[in-house]
Amino acid sequence: MSPHAEEFSLGQLELQAGKNIKGCLALLGLSDNRNRVTLNIDGEPKEEAMADNLINHPYIITIERHILDEQRIHPEATGALTNLLYDIAVAGKVIASKTTRAGLAEILGLTGDTNVQGEQVMKLDSFADMTIRRLTDHTGRLAGLASEENAEFMPIPDRYPKGKYLLLYDPLDGSSNVDFNMPIGTIFAIYKRTREDGTVTLDEFLQPGRNLVAAGYIAYGTSTMLVYTTGNGVHGFTLDPSVGEFLLSHPDIRIPSPAKYFSVNLGYVLHWSRGVQRYTEYLQGREGGVTALSLRYIGTLVSDFHRNLLAGGVFYYPADNRDPKAPSGKLRLLYEAAPLAFIAEQAGGWASDGRQRILDIQPESLHQRTPLYIGDMELVKKVEELIRDHDM
Ligand code: AHG
């Protein structure tokens, strides 16, 4: 670069021009965001190819670019996964924009069922479910989808091209928190189908979590964040509403140690096994336990997991004896536990059902439930020990 040239990161460029990033690039006649933009003192733009390893550099990185950079680690990649992840990010933006208006739906509706446009007002979880399906089912990247909202999986309809991936998702985790202006989330899991072709079958969805190709979640909180892994670390992106893009804000997340928090619904303590009760006492610092941890529980798995991922801690939702028909707790293996377990392990943590690694559980049904202990590796191993000592 000439000594007279000034170099701008995209963020600086945005400030300089008072425009959004894409607008700036368009103004400059540069559409390829894989390049660094520099301006010389006469204001003439020029592009410079970035170095090979684009991850973790000082420039603003959009999620699109990050996913593309990850694809380059796999020379055999066709781009289908890259595009699928980007489709999910787009769905996240759409859902995020709707969540901020959730409380308005009834006010704006004429009867509570119908909005001002005369359209049916849809519950947020159905809306999130439909948004993800509509943004992913026609692209030729998927062979099928399964949603926590629907009893059956959905093969990609005949009118659309088929792909090699399966998408399983919880469209709106924590939906009972929606009415109280509390954080909610979306969780997704991506597997490769196990057959080359033909209509997808149930057994292809019933894969253990260790087969996951990618997993992530979108947290709709004070800001919207997307966190994902493809098995190459865990990366977090914050939605900049002024730009409409997820920007890399948390590269290579590792669960900090020592743990600060434990997250559990203590209201059910009397319904837990002795091992789980003993574990809770251990976390509270009783009888040879750790220095007491701080208790934080939102009741939205995504939010509780996210906080513990960033600050250090353990979340658990144990088996309990409240309902003999649901002896394994509340959380779903395929839509919640397995994808978050993949993220936890990639961030240096662990996830268990109290007896075995979550990622090794062979699912037997689509909506199977599992006890879940997830987060700080040492603390998850501790519950396995106490369950072994007291419950087995
Ligand atoms: P829902 O989506 O029906 O609100 O369920 C949320 C899940 C999960 O996100 C959370 O960790 C757990 O249920 C909370 O359940 P409890 O209310 O029983 O604690």
CA 330 to ligand 1: nearest atom: 13
For ligand 1, say whether the CB of 230 is within 6 Å of any of its atoms: no
pLDDT score recorded for residue 273: 97
Q: Does the structure show a pLDDT above 50 at 196?
A: yes
| pLDDT, tens digit, 9 for 90 and up, residues 357-367 | 999 999 999 99
For ligand 1, say whether the CB of 326 is within 6 Å of any of its atoms: no
Cα separation, 274 vs 281, in Å, equals 11
pLDDT score recorded for residue 100: 82
pLDDT score recorded for residue 227: 98
Average pLDDT for residues 306-314, to the nearest whole number? 98
Average pLDDT for residues 312-328, to the nearest whole number? 95
For ligand 1, say whether the CB of 173 is within 6 Å of any of its atoms: yes
CA of 301 to the centre of ligand 1 (A): 7
For ligand 1, say whether the CB of 299 is within 6 Å of any of its atoms: yes
CA 185 to ligand 1: nearest atom: 9
CA of 246 to the centre of ligand 1 (A): 26
CA of 186 to the centre of ligand 1 (A): 13
Average pLDDT for residues 287-299, to the nearest whole number? 92
Vertex 29 angle, CA 25 and 35, to 5°:
55
CA of 299 to the centre of ligand 1 (A): 5
When comparing pLDDT for 235 and 112, which is higher?
Answer: 235
CA of 36 to the centre of ligand 1 (A): 44
CA of 177 to the centre of ligand 1 (A): 9
pLDDT score recorded for residue 120: 52
When comparing pLDDT for 103 and 42, which is higher?
Answer: 103
Q: Which of 265, 266, 322, 369 to mutate to test the pocket of ligand 1 (most atoms within 8 A of CB)?
A: 265
Strands 350-352 and 45-49: unpaired
**What does the domain layout of the chain look like in residue ranges?**
5-59, 66-250, 261-391
pLDDT score recorded for residue 121: 54
For ligand 1, say whether the CB of 136 is within 6 Å of any of its atoms: no
Q: Does the structure show a pLDDT above 50 at 342?
A: yes
Cα separation, 103 vs 25, in Å, equals 36
CA of 71 to the centre of ligand 1 (A): 34
Instruction: Please answer whether residues 329 and 372 qualify as being in contact, where contact means their C-beta atoms are separated by less than 8 angstroms.
Output: yes
Residue whose CA lies nearest to ligand 1 atom number 2: 174
pLDDT score recorded for residue 249: 96
pLDDT score recorded for residue 115: 44
When comparing pLDDT for 71 and 299, which is higher?
Answer: 299
Q: Which of 170, 172, 330, 333 to mutate to test the pocket of ligand 1 (most atoms within 8 A of CB)?
A: 330
pLDDT score recorded for residue 106: 57
pLDDT score recorded for residue 336: 98
pLDDT score recorded for residue 11: 41
pLDDT score recorded for residue 300: 98
The one-letter code for the residue type at 25 is: L
Q: Does the structure show a pLDDT above 70 at 208?
A: yes
pTM, full prediction? 0.84
Q: What are phi and psi of 118, to 5 degrees?
A: 85, 10
Q: Does the structure show a pLDDT above 90 at 243?
A: no
Q: Does the structure show a pLDDT above 70 at 5?
A: no
CA 177 to ligand 1: nearest atom: 4
pLDDT score recorded for residue 103: 67
| pLDDT, tens digit, 9 for 90 and up, residues 117-163 | 455 556 888 899 999 999 999 999 999 999 999 999 999 999 999 99
Q: Does the structure show a pLDDT above 90 at 72?
A: no
SS3 per-residue string spanning the chain: CCCCCEECCHHHHHHHHCCCHHHHHHHCCCCCCCEEEEECCCCCEEEEECCCCCCCCCCCCEHHHHHHHHHCCCCCCCCHHHHHHHHHHHHHHHHHHHHCCCCHHHHHCCCCCECCCCCECCCHHHHHHHHHHHHHCCCCCEEEEEECCCCCCEECCCCCCCCCEEEEEEEEECHHHHHHCCCEEEEEEEEECCCCCCCCCHHHHCCCHHHCCEEEEEEECCCEEEEEECCCCEEEEEEECCCCEEEEEECCCCCCCCCCEEECCHHHHHHCCHHHHHHHHHHCCCCCCCCCCEECCCCCHHHHHHHHHHHCEEEEECCCCCCCCCCCCCCEHHHHHHHHHHHHHHCCCEEECCCCEHHHCCCCCCCCECCEEEECHHHHHHHHHHHHHHHC
For ligand 1, say whether the CB of 300 is within 6 Å of any of its atoms: yes
Mean pLDDT of the chain: 84
CA of 336 to the centre of ligand 1 (A): 11
Least confident among 162-171, 269-278, 280-289: 280-289
pLDDT score recorded for residue 34: 36
Architecture of domain 66-250: 2-Layer Sandwich (3.30)
Q: Does the structure show a pLDDT above 80 at 108?
A: no
For ligand 1, say whether the CB of 268 is within 6 Å of any of its atoms: no
pLDDT score recorded for residue 54: 38
Average pLDDT for residues 201-215, to the nearest whole number? 98
Q: Does domain 261-391 have CATH number 3.40.50.720?
A: no
Sorting pLDDT into bands at 50, 70 and 90, what band is 99?
A: confident
Cα separation, 8 vs 13, in Å, equals 6
